[in-house]
Every structure is written in structure tokens, then in C-alpha cells.
Amino acid sequence: MQFKYPELLWALFLLLVPLFIHLFQLRRFKKTPFTNVALLQKVKTQSKKARNLKKWLLLAARLFLYTALIIAFAQPYFAKKDVFKKRETVIYLDNSFSMQALNNGTSLLQTAVQELIKSNAKEKEFSLFTNTNTYKNVVLKDIQNNLLSLGYSSNQLHIKDVILKANTLFSKDNSSVKDLIVISDFQQKNEAYTIDSLQTNIYFVKQNTENFTNISIDSLYVSNTDATNLELTANLKANTNAENTAVALYNNDTLIAKTSALFNNSKEAKVNFTLPKDVGIKGKIELTDTGLMYDNSFYFNINKRDKIKVLAISNTDNTFLNKIFTNDEFKTNTTTINQLNYSLIPTQNLIILNELKAIPESLKNALTSFTKNGGSLVVIPSLKLDINSYNALLSNYFSTKLKGLINIERKVTGINFSHPLYTNVFQKRVTNFQYPTVNSSFITNSSAPSLLSYQDNSPFLMGANGFYFFTSSLSKENSNFKGSPLIVPTLYNMGYTSFKIPKLYTTLGKATTVDVETKVNKDLVLKITKDKNEFIPQQQSFTNKTTLTFSNTPQNAGIYTIKKGESELGSLSFNYNREESKLIYTDINSIANIKQSTSISQLLTNLENNQKVNELWKWFVIFALFFLILEVLIQKYFK
């Protein structure tokens, strides 16, 4: 029991006053009677004993009366120790896509919102945040409509981010009690859930769903091409063994194909669609599923793309380049150094110097300007080169310099699988391929990363970010690299990455860049539009292209149009990340420093009860009245 005014309890010492008075009355002088009045004395003694008992009863009643009154004025109560401290509540409501899962016909998010509205005190101030919105120091009536219309988000905060965000909403008052309520289905993340905060009371309210099968369109890629058609393959995944389901392909809103995904009671399936090549398509693959809704549609686009422009400057045979840079994807021009039209250089995407003996100063200046404006350069040296003219050019890229030629046969044995040029080229690390050999090579000094290397780890091919340099001639007399399976993906990717053609689709939240063959100025920039919404992405203009960079925008999946003024330059497709479709949940029982609850309403009721004070002063007033009445009764009826 606690007291609101404990200092009043010192008044209990005043109870000694009636006690002392009573004791003094009992010690009065006694007279000894004579024997002739002994009978009368006996009656008097019996009467005196009754009077003494009456006095003791009156003393007890008065002591209890005064005690009850003193305690009543001290205002006793039952409550927790921190009941009079300021209490702050912050609620995190997970509105990620996995909260679309149904429980008794209602989504987890809708159930949580309805329970939160019914259970929370209408005038109690609190803070609430979701994956997309933040409401600080509000009452329920201020945000009730916002909660009822709350949409789903592709972003799901990790518990560490939730705690960091909540700390910004709590006040800096260290004396206040802070409660953080986390309402989520607790999808399993790559990182383990660890709670380090001990200064905040953290409550997890897990939203449980009934068992169901969710089928999602996981990815899409071009599986095969020929002269007239291309084949698209879509990967479908399910969280449990699934039955076959129908899948439709649309161009804009026009249905162009329909097929069935054959799961055969497994968790994966593939569907194939054949489309005409070099025809622009704003595509959408769609399936019907009773699970999560966000992963039932998958957007992609195939633009009528311009060919990548490749210029080979060489005085030797360029047949191998023409075989790699074919006419269906590249527009390849070859010229000798004497016939070079310098006005072509700024309009190219990739320039290859194939075994030139010397690099004129005019060409060096043109190439330096070309690469600064976003162009890509590949240098294949000649064995009989002018080292000074080469170093004048190469020194502009990773401080590269040639030191001399060594006539030692070496094998190309090392592949830098992590280099961006070889992304998605190898399904696994290759260790037993037929190693190309080189008879003579140049000793180099450079800070450029190595792509291919000799057995002594010195570079055979180095470079990055649009600059690549072979340290050896690729002529048949010096190397058999032209016959190696490595040459095709190496040179092809150099050409393909020199102009970043829009992919079939991009996953939202992942940084990506796209090149558009146009030039913009300060008065006219490229815009990205969808329906009535538009935004201006980060962009950099070069002589022959504009590079668009996307990171945090856009926010919603769909097909977006690239516009320059009123002209449409192409399309981009964005899709939500499919991680939440796995429906793998975290066991929150294994998480330390948190409290759990199965019900939002029960938790809020418990927290509200923790702030209640059970006041007892009224009971002590009643006790005081009781003892007052008892004293009156003793005075009146006790003889």
C-alpha cells in the first residue's frame, strides 16, 4: 500500500494523547471500606469493573476512529511504482504487402486497424508510424480516417529500424515511461532479430494468419531468340505445394496469350510465351490467386531499341569483331586510322582501337573527350607500337602506363568473376576450361582492376567503367584468345554495357541506370510519367545520350513512359520485390528483451490498467464512521 501524502502519517503519534489520558484515569486514589459496608463494596466493585471495560472499549473505538481518519487524509492507494510518471506510447503498424494475408476473410492489416480503433482511448495522446506514414503526438480521432484508408507498402522495416524510428518519436525526458508496441506478422529477414534497448518497454503483437497457398510471379527473362521471335520465360513460385493455375499475358490492356502453369504439386513452375522480335510491347503477366495480391501481376517492356554503335579503328583484320557485334544488336563501322572521320567519334557508344602502331595526338584528344562524355573505349595493342603515344592516352585511365614487352609464353588462367562485366555470365566458377596462351605481352603499371590474368596474377585484361585494355596483342601469331570461349562474352558485354538499354524490368528499391539516345539541356529535361503522375529522375547528359539513374523512385509498380517534352522516347517497367511472397515468419519466442501479446485490445487494456490507481481513502472514511457509530452505541447501551 502506498500513500499520496505519507507525511500526514506522523499524526498517528497523536494517538498517544487519549491513551495517556485513559491510563491516568485508571490510576486514581482508592479508598479502603470498613467491614460493615462490605456487601455494598462488592456491588460497587462489580460496577467499577464494567465501567473500566467500557472505558477500554471507548479507547479502542476512538483510537481506530482517529487512525482511520489520519490514514484517510494520507490517501492510501494500490498502484505500480511508476504510476505517476509521464507515460509515452509509440505504435508501429506494419502495412507491408505480407499483411494482405487473410484471417477469417479479412486482411491482417484491416483486422489490426479495426482492433486498434476499437481499443484505443479516444482522447489519449500517442504516436504512430507505418512503413510510409508518421503521426506524432496525435489522438485517435485525428488519424482514424487515415488508418481506415491505409494502403500497403513494398517497404518493410527491420525491427532495428523500427526501434530507431520510435526513439525519434519519444521525448528526451529520461524520467518518463516509454512503451513501444510493434504490430506485425514478423516476416523473417536475412538479419536476426536482436533487441538491445532496455530503456523502452517493447511489446510484440503478432498478427497470425490462417494457412493458405500463395503463388507469385517471381522473375522473367528471355530464354531464346531467333531471327523473327523471342521466347519469354516466367518463373512462378509458391509457399507450399501448389496446383496448376492460369497465367495471362497482356500488351497494355489487350490479352495476347494465355497458358497454364504446371506446378504438379510442387513449389515452382515455368510458363513460356513467344513474341515477335523487335516489336515494342508494354507487357503484363497476370495470374489469379487467393493469396497475396501484390505479386499476381508482373510488368515488363520491350522497346524498339536503337542499335548500339561500335566503331573499330584498325589497320588489321577485324573479322572477329564483326562476328561478335552482329547487325541485329549493333551498328558496327570499321575504318583505318588514315581514313578516320573524327566527326563520327562523338556519336558512337563503343570505340575499339585494334592493334594501332601509334595513336596520334588528335585521336588521343578526341578519345579522351569521348570517354568523358560517357563513351566506352577498348584498346588492343600492337606488338610494334609507339609506347610514348600509347602512354599519352592510357595515362588518362587509372594512371596506366606501359613499361616494356616480354617475350614469354604465358597462359590466361584467372577470371575475376565478381567484375561487373561478368555479372550473370557464368552459372558457376569455371576452373577447368582450355586456357588461352600468349607469346608476348606488355608489362603495365595501373590501378585498374583485372578481369583476366595470367598464372602469375599479372593482368591480361584490365579496366572498368567503360575503359578496357588488353596487355597483349590478339593477333593469331601472338595469341589463340580469339579462339577461346572467353572472347565472345568479354567483348559482347563491353559493347552491351556501353549503352545501358532498358532491361525487361527493374525491381523497385534497387539502383539502376538507363541510357536514352537523346541530349537534353537546362530548359528541357527527361520526365518519367505514368497516368497523371510524373517525376524527374536523376539524369546526366552526354554528347550522344542521357543517363537516367533510379534508386528510391518510383514507389509503385507499373510501366512508366520516358518523355522529352511531349515526345515519348521509350518505356520502363518496375516490379515489387518478391521477398515477402515467401511467407516465412520469425519465431518471436526466441527474441530477448520483449514482451508478447496475442491481442491488441488486451495489450492496450493491460497498459491502461497499469496506469490506474486503486484509491483506498474512501474505505478508511467508512471505517472511521463505523468506529464513530460504535462509540455512540457503547456510550448509550453499555452500562
DSSP 49-110: HHHHHHHHHHHHHHHHHHHHHHHHHH-EEE--TTTTS-EEEEEEE--BGGGG-EETTEEHHH
Assess whether 53 and 177 both reside in one domain.
no
On the question of pLDDT at 69 being above 90, the answer is no
Predicted local distance difference test score (pLDDT) of residue 427 = 60
Residue 541: strand pairing partners: 546
List pLDDT tens digits, range 202-213: 889 888 887 888
| CATH code assigned at 114 | 3.40.50.410
Cβ atoms of 373 and 543 within 8 Å: the answer is yes
pLDDT bucket at 172, cuts 50 / 70 / 90: confident
Here the cell at position 499 is: 549503352
List pLDDT tens digits, range 418-459: 888 887 676 666 565 678 999 999 999 999 999 999 989 999
Residue 285: strand pairing partners: 249, 298
pLDDT bucket at 45, cuts 50 / 70 / 90: low
Within-domain flag for 267: yes
Assess whether 468 and 511 both reside in one domain.
no
Buried b (16+ CB within 10 A) or exposed e, 443-455: ebebebbbbbbbe
Distance, CA of 80 to CA of 75 (rounded, Å): 16
Predicted local distance difference test score (pLDDT) of residue 84 = 61
Assess whether 237 and 196 both reside in one domain.
no
Nearest to 494 by CA among 347, 383, 379: 379
Task: Show the domain range for 553.
Answer: 506-575
Q: Report the phi/psi class of residue 424: left, alpha or beta, with left for phi > 0 and alpha for psi in -120 to 50.
A: left
Assess whether 471 and 333 both reside in one domain.
yes
Q: What percent of the chain has pLDDT over 90?
A: 32
Assess whether 236 and 267 both reside in one domain.
yes
List pLDDT tens digits, range 91-124: 999 999 989 988 888 889 999 999 888 887 777 8
pTM above 0.85, yes or no: no
Predicted local distance difference test score (pLDDT) of residue 304 = 73
Within-domain flag for 501: no
Q: Pick the last residue of a domain from 302, 318, 350.
A: 302
List pLDDT tens digits, range 253-297: 899 999 999 988 888 999 999 988 778 889 999 998 888 899 999
pLDDT bucket at 2, cuts 50 / 70 / 90: low
Predicted local distance difference test score (pLDDT) of residue 434 = 75
Assess whether 363 and 451 both reside in one domain.
yes
Q: Which amino acid is at 334?
A: T
Q: How many domains does the chain divide into? A: 5
Predicted local distance difference test score (pLDDT) of residue 611 = 62
Assess whether 561 and 592 both reside in one domain.
no
List pLDDT tens digits, range 298-347: 999 987 767 889 999 998 888 899 899 988 889 999 999 999 999 889 88
On the question of pLDDT at 532 being above 60, the answer is yes
pLDDT bucket at 82, cuts 50 / 70 / 90: low
Predicted local distance difference test score (pLDDT) of residue 223 = 83
Within-domain flag for 486: yes
List pLDDT tens digits, range 178-196: 889 899 988 876 555 666 6
Assess whether 115 and 261 both reside in one domain.
no
On the question of pLDDT at 614 being above 70, the answer is no
| CATH code assigned at 247 | 2.60.40.10
On the question of pLDDT at 221 being above 70, the answer is yes
Give the residue carrying C-alpha cell 518493410: 156
Distance, CA of 591 to CA of 58 (rounded, Å): 62
Average pLDDT over every residue of 469-496: 91
Distance, CA of 499 to CA of 547 (rounded, Å): 9
Q: Pick the last residue of a domain from 302, 334, 354.
A: 302
Distance, CA of 363 to CA of 218 (rounded, Å): 48
